[in-house]
Chain A
């Protein structure tokens, strides 16, 4: 998938303002950013649902706009709203979507298993929980065994347990060799799941790389946090590798660029009470790129 300098404006609002990216086969690619960053519009242009004002998209070697029927069976799309047929059960939804691609019912039932909804097969769509609906809509996107899967905010509005269940589903899909492109505003989640991420804000891509590389590129210090009172601030500052030392009512925070040395010194002193080690995250990357705190 190759996207070159696509742009899309709605009136004065530049929803997508010159986005270029490429995704290799089998890759799990995340487009991250706060709401309104232009993630969904970017995805819709790549899927062939919208025409870009300018720029070009090649998806599996073809241009998705205007609607190209031979390309459609190779692409799976989960839309942001859970789009289901009214009054149908989970199984019937999948069977109906499967038949749109000429795929049999057996495959539809496999998909229910994959997303862990086998026991909800006969439950109507409107009686499913938020997480179950999300999993069902992902199953609907996968039912025709596409090569590329687009998921728009699949984990939005889910409780933490449902999100973790869904991660397992997403990993299982990747294990089948699919290319996954997904959007999320949970940076922590993207860091765990994605091979590569693009961080978007205001219609532009600010950075694109492996999450670990982005974080490393920040060159931010590691924070070692101890229970307050386990060590005095002065003692902490004197430890090898210790940088800035801060203290609040609960904890003592030492920032360091040589975490290994600092930690072994702390271990030697037996001062590991309530130890936490915080390295930089994608949120820090976002903060660094935009100069503002990340808010989903």
Chain B
């Protein structure tokens, strides 16, 4: 076996024989996928619950709209008490021809929506009562918009994050452990060059990342989550690979600076965690404040996220490759060069 192969094999064995590493590589990101995937699964179709009192055509028509969920109360006083407690945004009562609408001033958005629905229903019934044909009619049909189902951005985001974690930790911990245990020194005494050692670690990191991607995308595609990849998904591969390299470079830098595994773990967390929160891993970056969106442009994870999402779920063309690939490649080169500069074979 060549030195390259056997070093890679040694690292692969060290990887899969370590339960903690396996946990943080696969189970930990999957836990987030599970939590966020299930949490946001129904967020698009959630109905507003409204208190309802009495019987009559308006109440019946409201129930038939299917837009609001009616919660029955025997008296208006009881329903209003619920609104006052903040349990309901609004309550509607019908007693003969009289319609009562009470809403919580604190929840103007929902109360306003409910009010629009209630008034619409009442107007329709009024119009019908006159037996006149409606003068204005609305021609409506829905249009597919570009906003994504939650699972469509959660899966690529958590995949990028999981890959980033394992690339940084893998590179940093190997470097620190090998230096601390003088394995690096021992390798230096053998006729093996730096490119061999480095490339074997890169290959292992990329391999682990690919396994992660397959696992995460596979689980996201289960019916319970419902991830759907679009036709351009293959264009995400270069962004993905460059992203792995960028985080590998960060790991080398962390490993070059830190003397112990504990220090390296802490430093890697400090680097990756803020990036994860500010780069649209857990929620779409478009929902965060403008300044945060601007700041996140300096993070490689942001570009990896954007780039991968563009092709995996948004169906963008190949021209969208340019920016993320250039940024990630540039990042890899610059950080890698700094890491090479501060790298030491042994603790001084």
Does B77 make an interface contact (CB < 8 A)? no
- Contact yes or no, B7 A96, CB < 8 A: yes
Does A72 make an interface contact (CB < 8 A)? yes
Query: What is the CB-to-nearest-CB distance from A111 to chain B, in angstroms, rounded to a whole number?
Result: 15
* A residues less than 8 Å from B95 (CB atoms): none
Does A61 make an interface contact (CB < 8 A)? no
CB 8 Å contact bits of B184-212 with A (1 = contact, 0 = none): 01111111100000000000000000000
* B residues less than 8 Å from A79 (CB atoms): 182, 185-186
- Contact yes or no, A88 B186, CB < 8 A: no
Give the residue of A82, A84, A99 whose beta carbon is less than 8 angstroms from that of B6.
A99
8 Å CB contacts to B: which residues of A244-292?
Answer: none
Give the residue of B3, B9, B182 whose beta carbon is less than 8 angstroms from that of A100.
B3
- Contact yes or no, B186 A95, CB < 8 A: no
Does B290 make an interface contact (CB < 8 A)? no
* A residues less than 8 Å from B2 (CB atoms): 99, 102
Interface magnitude class on chain B = 20 to 34
CA distance A47 to B186 in the complex (A): 11
* A residues less than 8 Å from B135 (CB atoms): none
- Contact yes or no, B181 A81, CB < 8 A: yes
* B residues less than 8 Å from A85 (CB atoms): 10, 14, 183
- Contact yes or no, B182 A87, CB < 8 A: no
Query: What is the CB-to-nearest-CB distance from A51 to chain B, in angstroms, rounded to a whole number?
Result: 13
8 Å CB contacts to B: which residues of A59-75?
Answer: 67, 69-70, 72-73, 75
- Contact yes or no, B9 A84, CB < 8 A: no
Q: Secondary structure of the B side of the interface?
A: helix
Query: Which A residue sits closest to B184, measured CB to CB?
Result: A83
Does B13 make an interface contact (CB < 8 A)? yes
CA distance A122 to B189 in the complex (A): 26
- Contact yes or no, A84 B189, CB < 8 A: no
- Contact yes or no, B189 A75, CB < 8 A: yes
Known: A49-B189, A79-B182, A101-B190. A86 touches B3 (CB 8 A): no
Does A92 make an interface contact (CB < 8 A)? yes
CB 8 Å contact bits of B274-309 with A (1 = contact, 0 = none): 000000000000000000000000000000000000
Known: A83-B183, A85-B14, A88-B14. A67 touches B188 (CB 8 A): yes
Known: A87-B14, A95-B6. A100 touches B185 (CB 8 A): no
Does A45 make an interface contact (CB < 8 A)? no
Does B143 make an interface contact (CB < 8 A)? no
Does B145 make an interface contact (CB < 8 A)? no
CB 8 Å contact bits of A30-47 with B (1 = contact, 0 = none): 000000000000000001
Query: Which A residue sits closest to B9, measured CB to CB?
Result: A96
Query: What is the CB-to-nearest-CB distance from B100 to chain A, in angstroms, rounded to a whole number?
Result: 72
Query: What is the CB-to-nearest-CB distance from A123 to chain B, in angstroms, rounded to a whole number?
Result: 13
8 Å CB contacts to A: which residues of B152-193?
Answer: 177, 181-183, 185-192
* B residues less than 8 Å from A105 (CB atoms): 1
CA distance A79 to B13 in the complex (A): 23
Give the residue of A70, A87, A97 whose beta carbon is less than 8 angstroms from that of B18.
A87
CA distance A229 to B187 in the complex (A): 63
CA distance A83 to B2 in the complex (A): 20
Does B47 make an interface contact (CB < 8 A)? no
Does B5 make an interface contact (CB < 8 A)? yes
Does B17 make an interface contact (CB < 8 A)? yes
* B residues less than 8 Å from A100 (CB atoms): 3, 6-7, 187, 190-192
CA distance A86 to B1 in the complex (A): 19
Give the residue of A77, A88, A101 whose beta carbon is less than 8 angstroms from that of B191.
A101
* A residues less than 8 Å from B185 (CB atoms): 49, 79, 83
26 A–B pairs (Cβ distance < 8 Å), ordered by A: A48-B189, A49-B188, A67-B188, A69-B191, A72-B189, A72-B191, A73-B191, A77-B186, A79-B182, A79-B186, A81-B181, A81-B182, A83-B183, A83-B185, A84-B183, A85-B183, A86-B177, A87-B13, A87-B18, A92-B10, A95-B1, A99-B1, A99-B3, A99-B6, A100-B3, A101-B191
Please give the residue numbers on chain B whose beta carbons come within 8 Å of chain A beta carbons, in ascending order. 1-3, 5-7, 9-10, 13-14, 17-18, 177, 181-183, 185-192
Task: List the 7 shortest-distance A-B pairs measured between CB atoms, nearest first.
Answer: A99-B6, A83-B182, A100-B190, A87-B17, A72-B191, A86-B14, A85-B10
Please give the residue numbers on chain A whose beta carbons come within 8 Å of chain B beta carbons, in ascending order. 47-49, 67, 69-70, 72-73, 75, 77, 79, 81-88, 92, 95-97, 99-102, 105, 140, 144
- A69-B191, A99-B7, A105-B1 given. 8 additional CB < 8 A pairs? A47-B189, A70-B191, A72-B189, A73-B191, A79-B182, A88-B13, A97-B190, A99-B6
